[in-house]
Structure 1
Amino acid sequence: MAKLSFDSIKKNFLELVRRFSEDEITSLSAQLSYFFLLSLFPLLIFSVAIASYLPIDYMRILEMMSNYIPVEAMQLIENFLLETVESTGGGLLSIAIIGTIWSASNGINAIMRALNKAYDVEENRPFILGRLIAISLLISVLLIIVVALLLPIFGRMIGVYIFSFFGASEQFITVWNNLRWIISSSIFFIGFLYLYRMAPNTKVYLKDAVWGALFTTIGWQISSYGFSLYVNTMGNYSATYGSLCGVIILMLWFYISSIIIIVGGEINAIIADKRGRLKR
């Protein structure tokens, strides 16, 4: 493998800057954030419907999400869920499944198109096959994200239960309590790695997708925390957008997240190109 040097890092960075403009990443991110917004609310309905059959309080999940999402956007989500839970009946789950699969798979399709552009390939898979791939990616990534979100919430409970069989000390439980956040990030990494490996319409080697997945995992968490901190402490969007404040902030968060995801795919494409694996 080629030796990593300052010159190679500089060349790769300049290539990424060129691709950022040439592949219209900002425009693609705007499209992707739109599909994310359309997917969010059916996905929330579906999550609440599933949680009603499990010993899980969905408010705990929302509490975990609040670490990444600004206050105004979280208030919008919480109000929507409260109204949904109070006003819907037994048909909630079946309706939510249909709405979630269709709407959220459109978001995955948008990611697939963006990654195809990064690899300079056309989407020539049949419509049905493309939709099935999108749905399978959606379900897989959704399960990984749910586990990643639930682990910080229930991690201590799980650690106490497992390590009680081995007579673990309270100090060891404290170490586990800190490690579960690292494990949660690792699960996010696996989810992004799977997405980058399967979504493009070309063969992507696992070793080529690692760096993009690592960038997205770290970049998404840092940008989400940073954006949430900025909005909650310094941003005053309510003065400009009024009652639309929550929607605007949610769209901005989706937009930032979309840029991170697409840039991660571009990094993978650059690495594949340098290794002679990018088909043109």
Structure 2
Amino acid sequence: MQKRILIQSSKKLYKEMNEENVRDVAAALAFYFLFSLFPLLIFTVSLLPYLSIEVHEILDLLQRFAPDKIYQTLKDPLMDVFMTSNQGILSLGIIITIWSASNGMNALIRALNIVYGVDEDRSFFKLRLLSILLTFGLVLVIFVTLALPVFGQLLIDLLTTLFFFPTHVLQIFAWIRWLVSPIIMTIVITGIYYFGPNIQLTMRQVLWGSVAASLSWQMITLGFSYYIKHFGNYTATYGSLGGIIILLLWFYMMGFILLFWGKVNALKNRKRYRA
């Protein structure tokens, strides 16, 4: 019985994803993600001098979440932005920068409406404000992820001084500290799934898909990194554009993952949100 339900659900998922052209929508998302990436990085890096965070910490974070080739592609532009960043970026160009950075989130919200099969009736300004707020949330998560390893070590040192924890307990704390990044990624995806589609959902309804999307993101990133390192010679085919092509492919896969698990959430909860 369970096997038959699983097969029927898989067929329905495949059929609806084809009807909604989810692969094409993921390709469009990759385009928007690419053009939103550098405004987002410019805005994020421009804040670093005010928060006592070094650019190498941003690079370390990027290296944990992105394939090595993508890290190498973005490393030099990030360093250039950090070296040339000044107050003008935060004053004169902030509106344009934030608007541009939120385009990727705006496209993702529209794409989630497609996989949920709902129309968008929120106003242009409300939708843009939501995109900007979710983008700010993403930037905040970046800084929290950067700060937690440092402050986590300070907390461990403080606990050691005050309570004299055994060594094995401190080792557990150290491991938990490095689990923060994937947990925070899950929180971000949960926020996107919860606030993005133009329907009323509960956190419980979107949480399962968020966890699955976060795990899929990390596994596919690791697999893609291994493939690029050992088999994919994009530089020979595309020359100096190889890094950009790899970045686009990675964005495509990430967009597809978000839409796939968003669609799974939609099918799982369809009777509830259409009731």
**Structure 1 stretches of 5 or more lacking a match?**
none
**1:238 alignment partner in structure 2:** 235
Aligned residues: 275
TM-score, normalised with respect to structure 1: 0.89
Q: Shift of the alpha carbon at 1:110?
A: 0.8
Kept in 2: contact 1:116–1:122 (CA 8 A)? yes
Q: Which moved more, 1:33-42 or 1:139-148?
A: 139-148
Secondary structure at the counterpart of residue 121 of structure 2? coil
Q: Shift of the alpha carbon at 1:153?
A: 6.4
- The 2-side partners of 1:119 and 1:253 are apart by 24
Kept in 2: contact 1:160–1:173 (CA 8 A)? no
Q: Shift of the alpha carbon at 1:8?
A: 2.6
**1:72 alignment partner in structure 2:** 69
Kept in 1: contact 2:17–2:115 (CA 8 A)? no
Kept in 1: contact 2:26–2:252 (CA 8 A)? yes
Q: Which moved more, 1:64-73 or 1:23-32?
A: 64-73
Q: Which moved more, 1:136-145 or 1:73-82?
A: 136-145
Identity of aligned residues (%): 36
Give the residue type in structure 1 aligned to 2:27.
A
Q: Shift of the alpha carbon at 1:253?
A: 0.8
Kept in 1: contact 2:46–2:85 (CA 8 A)? no
Residue among 214, 230, 248 paired with 1:217: 214
- The 2-side partners of 1:95 and 1:246 are apart by 31
Q: Shift of the alpha carbon at 1:97?
A: 3.2
Q: Which moved more, 1:175-184 or 1:240-249?
A: 175-184
TM-score, normalised with respect to structure 2: 0.91
- The 2-side partners of 1:81 and 1:216 are apart by 27
Give the residue type in structure 2 aligned to 1:17.
Y
Q: Shift of the alpha carbon at 1:157?
A: 4.3
Higher helix proportion: 2
Give the residue type in structure 2 aligned to 1:31.
A
Cα distance change, pair 19–164 in 1 and its aligned pair in 2 (3 A): farther
Kept in 2: contact 1:119–1:278 (CA 8 A)? no
Residue among 143, 156, 159 paired with 2:156: 159
- The 1-side partners of 2:114 and 2:95 are apart by 29
Q: Shift of the alpha carbon at 1:116?
A: 0.7
**2:40 alignment partner in structure 1:** 43
Q: Shift of the alpha carbon at 1:249?
A: 0.8
Q: Shift of the alpha carbon at 1:159?
A: 2.9
Residue among 55, 60, 63 paired with 2:60: 63
Q: Shift of the alpha carbon at 1:144?
A: 2.6
**1:133 alignment partner in structure 2:** 130
- The 2-side partners of 1:99 and 1:244 are apart by 27
Cα offsets for 1:75-96 (capped at 9, x unmatched)? 2211112222334443123356
In angstroms, what is the RMSD of aligned CA positions?
Answer: 2.2
- The 2-side partners of 1:16 and 1:172 are apart by 45
Give the residue type in structure 1 aligned to 2:88.
G
Cα distance change, pair 241–219 in 1 and its aligned pair in 2 (3 A): same
Cα offsets for 1:205-247 (capped at 9, x unmatched)? 2222122111111111111121122212321111011111111
Secondary structure at the counterpart of residue 91 of structure 1? helix
Give the residue type in structure 2 aligned to 1:233.
H
1:277 aligns with 2:275: no
Give the residue type in structure 2 aligned to 1:30.
A
Residue among 179, 195, 202 paired with 1:182: 179
Cα offsets for 1:161-198 (capped at 9, x unmatched)? 45543222333222112122333322221221111111
**Structure 2 stretches of 5 or more lacking a match?**
none
